[in-house]
Amino acid sequence: MSQVSGFLEGERDYGNLKGDTGPLVYPAGFLYIYSALQHVTRGQVYPAQILFGLLYIVNLAIVLSIYVKTSVVPWWALSLLALSKRVHSIFVLRLFNDCFATTFLHAALFFLLKQKWHLGLIIFSAAVSVKMNVLLYAPALLILMLQAMDVFGVISALAGAALVQILLGLPFLLTHPVAYLSKAFNLGRVFIHFWSVNFKFVPEPTFISREFAVALLVAHLGLLTVFAHYRWCRHEGGLPSLLRLKIAELSSFSMTRFYCTSSTTKLLRTEYIATTMFVGNFIGIVCARSLHYQFYSCFSCAGM
């Protein structure tokens, strides 16, 4: 709430937006949501807890529908999704923005399972506008899009997602674009070692070093490449074969065909879509330099 105060007072320079926990590092969607919460709750915790409790129920309902649609676990196992005390704490006690980002993400996945790729991408982009860690799903999502749609469909879906980011960030992009992009989408930010829950055993000098960050990035890209080539794209003959096919489609791209021809789609199995998304996210989590407790909301409901 303290971070949105400056925005509500008219400040549009992201470099000047800060609160008790430090400078603002989240995209514009975060500001709009918490500004609305400020207006509805008058900054009081208890009304906000009620709203977050309702948000938890919505998120749980979406996750349950995802599992039911994919039929990957017996019905009795679905009850386990509602037993995480950590997730309850994150939603109803901590009131983290991860709760909104994760709910948007699961809603996007729900529509992806229904093969509604353009709508799914728009909601996915809304999730990214709340918190950038949702981008851990992006590599797996891109593979799925390349498999499900021709290159024209992929381009149009990505354009829709980009348009969401532009519209949400417009007040800041028109006034202080560099400050907004560098603060809201800072990929090189170093987290405080004290708050890390995954690499706590690593000495702090190593943890904050550039070499450690590069090693994790290489491991992340390497694991994604291995899974993409040997698991996700094996029916296409591997990742290079899929990329060659899309490059061939792109070479015949023309704006006239883009506007006059509807893209073709291929139906993907719901279990495959969900598994690919969750595995892609888990790879990112394993290779993330710093995970805080609220990151559990991103995979504890969906990693069973």
Query: Rounded to the nearest 5 degrees, what angle is found at the Cα of 295, between the Cα atoms of 294 and 301?
Result: 100
- Minimum mean pLDDT range among 4-8, 41-45, 213-217, 298-302: 298-302
Report the pLDDT averaged over residues 87-92.
85
41-79 residue pLDDT tens:
988 899 999 999 999 999 999 999 999 999 888 888 888
Query: So what's the pLDDT on residue 201?
Result: 86
pLDDT at position 184 is: 87
Q: What is the pLDDT of residue 303?
A: 46
CA distances from 18 to 1, 183, 209, 251, 295 (A): 10, 11, 26, 46, 22
Range scoring the smallest mean pLDDT among 90-99, 134-143, 161-170, 181-190: 181-190
Where residue 304 falls among pLDDT bands split at 50, 70, 90?
very low
| pLDDT above 70 for 257 | no
Say if residue 297's pLDDT is above 60: no
pLDDT band at 293 (very low <50, low <70, confident <90, very high): low
What is the structure's pLDDT at 263?
63
Query: pLDDT > 70: what percent of the chain?
Result: 92
* Cβ burial, residue 263 (10 Å; 0-12/13-18/19+): middle
Q: What is the mean pLDDT of residues 172-176?
A: 93
| Distance (Å, whole) CA 58 – CA 6 | 30
- List pLDDT tens digits, range 194-237: 777 778 888 888 888 889 989 999 999 999 999 999 999 999 89
pTM, two decimal places: 0.90
CA 219 to chain centre: 20
Using the structure block, give the residue that is written with the tokens 């023309």. Answer: 254
Residue 22 is predicted with a pLDDT of 78
Q: What's the pLDDT score for residue 302?
A: 47
Name the residue with higher pLDDT: 95 or 162.
Answer: 162
pLDDT for position 144:
96
Give the per-residue pLDDT at 95.
84
Model confidence at 25, pLDDT cuts 50, 70, 90, reads confident
Cα Dmax for the chain: 58
Inter-residue contact 283 to 222 (CB < 8 Å)? no
Summary mean pLDDT of the chain: 87
Q: What is the pLDDT of residues 128-170, one digit of tens each?
A: 999 998 999 999 999 999 999 988 899 999 999 999 999 999 9
- The pLDDT > 90 percentage for the chain reads 53
